[in-house]
Amino acid sequence: MLAVFNLLPAFPLDGGRILRSVIWRWKGDLRHATRLATRIGSGFGVLLILFGILNAFGGNLLGGMWYFLIGVFLKAAAKNSYGRLLLQAAFSEKRVDSLMNIETDAISPHLSLEEVVSEHLPRQKGKILPVIENGRLVGCITLAQIKRIPDKMRAEHRAGELLQSCPEKSVIKRETGVLQALNHMNKTGINRLLVVDGHKLVGTLTLSDIIEAFSTWKELESEP
């Protein structure tokens, strides 16, 4: 039963992958073949959802729930598979430095924490603040560190007093591929990366930068 189900022409099941291969061979366009195969896969998912609902109302509640859940999974898997293909097409040859924000709001180690909070924090998009001295990235301070200093005492303390090494997972090289950076964000949960060239901070890359670039690419490509 599992083997027969797996051979249904519903992408990303193996039967759907076979169907995509046939369409790809016929049309010579992988994206078109994947789009069509995923639509068929989504259609099968909807049918299973409806079949599950009918079963549940017909008295087979447990069986209906299983059909419903499998249908939801199949529909979501089909959509995600096509999304991954589009990401690959959009960013397979792009590097981080093609999307990064060149203007960075780095701070000097000589600034008071009061200045950091009043002048820099409103423009920051992350919880890790890069510290620059003589054009070099010398370390980072975090919002958690600043929070430990009472408001009235922040004018007396300098950013350099809280300086620590930037977390390795928050720093990425400028020649890194965008897909690799996106995968790194997914694994670490960090949505803002510091882009470096050696010891020099050259920009920042956020998840919203990648999403915006992807949305623009889809409009230009006329993707549904």
Burial of 65 (C-beta count, 10 Å sphere; 0-12/13-18/19+) = middle
Helices 178-188 and 61-91 cross at an angle (nearest 10°) of: 140
Task: Judge if pTM exceeds 0.75.
Answer: no
Mapped onto helix, strand or coil, the DSSP state of residue 183 is helix
Q: What's the pLDDT tens digit per position in 127-149?
A: 788 888 887 888 888 888 888 88
Domain boundaries, the chain: 2-91, 96-217
CATH value of 96-217 in 3.40.50.150, 2.60.40.420, 3.10.580.10, 3.40.630.40: 3.10.580.10
The answer to whether 48 touches 5, Cβ cutoff 8 Å, is: no
Q: What's the pLDDT tens digit per position in 30-48?
A: 888 888 888 898 898 899 9
With a cut of 80, say whether residue 125 has pLDDT above it: no
